[in-house]
Amino acid sequence: MTRPMTTRPADAGDKPRIRQLYEEALRHHIEIIWGWDDGWQQAYFDKAFVDLSTRVIEVDGRFAGYLQVDHGSDEDYLSMLVLDAGFRSEGVGARLLAAVQAESRRAGRGIWLRVFRTNAAARRFYEREGWTLVGDEGDFLVMRPGAGVVVA
């Protein structure tokens, strides 16, 4: 049975939990690539929280994660789709990704994302969902849904 899932706009009260999840999910990769700088990370997080469409993901009414999308005129950039470890491998991410793609499609926009080169699990997830690698930016790999050109 599929568990009820909703998203809603994040508010200031959600920010500490989202920040905690951001660090839990990404710190390892950031430390490997650049090293973790608390001040820089907090400033980056604060700016993204305000500038991007930040939504809280709830499953069965419980905080399950968050997503951030930068809605452009031609394309949307899926900046973050981060689930709490307790909600991974349950189909929540796949349902969210499909919903975000559908929203972009309805608006007549494409969608793309970057994944840390070091985050093999995230890359496998997106590939299972039909996304392909279309670019290499060094620390990041660029992916698009169902794109035809694959970069090794």
How far is Cα 92 from Cα 130, in angstroms, rounded to an integer? Answer: 16
Q: Alpha carbon 146 to chain centroid distance? A: 18
**Least confident residue range of 1-5, 56-60, 139-143:** 1-5
Q: What is the mean pLDDT of residues 31-43?
A: 90
How far is Cα 74 from Cα 72, in angstroms, rounded to an integer? Answer: 6
Q: What is the mean pLDDT of residues 12-18?
A: 95
* pLDDT score at 58: 94
Contact predicate 54/18, CB 8 Å: yes
In this prediction the pTM is 0.87
H or E stretch at 17: helix 15-33
Taking alpha carbons only, the member of 74, 73, 67 closest to residue 53 is 67
Residue 88, classed as helix, strand or coil, is coil
How far is Cα 14 from Cα 55, in angstroms, rounded to an integer? Answer: 10
Question: Residue 118 — very low, low, confident or very high, per pLDDT cuts 50/70/90?
Answer: very high
Q: Alpha carbon 66 to chain centroid distance? A: 8
Q: Cβ neighbours of residue 80 under 8 Å, at least 6 residues apart? A: 22, 48, 52, 66, 67, 68
* pLDDT score at 147: 60
* pLDDT score at 1: 57
Q: Quick check: 150 pLDDT over 70?
A: no
Residues 52-105: pLDDT tens digits? 989 999 999 899 999 999 998 899 999 999 999 888 888 888 999 999 999 999
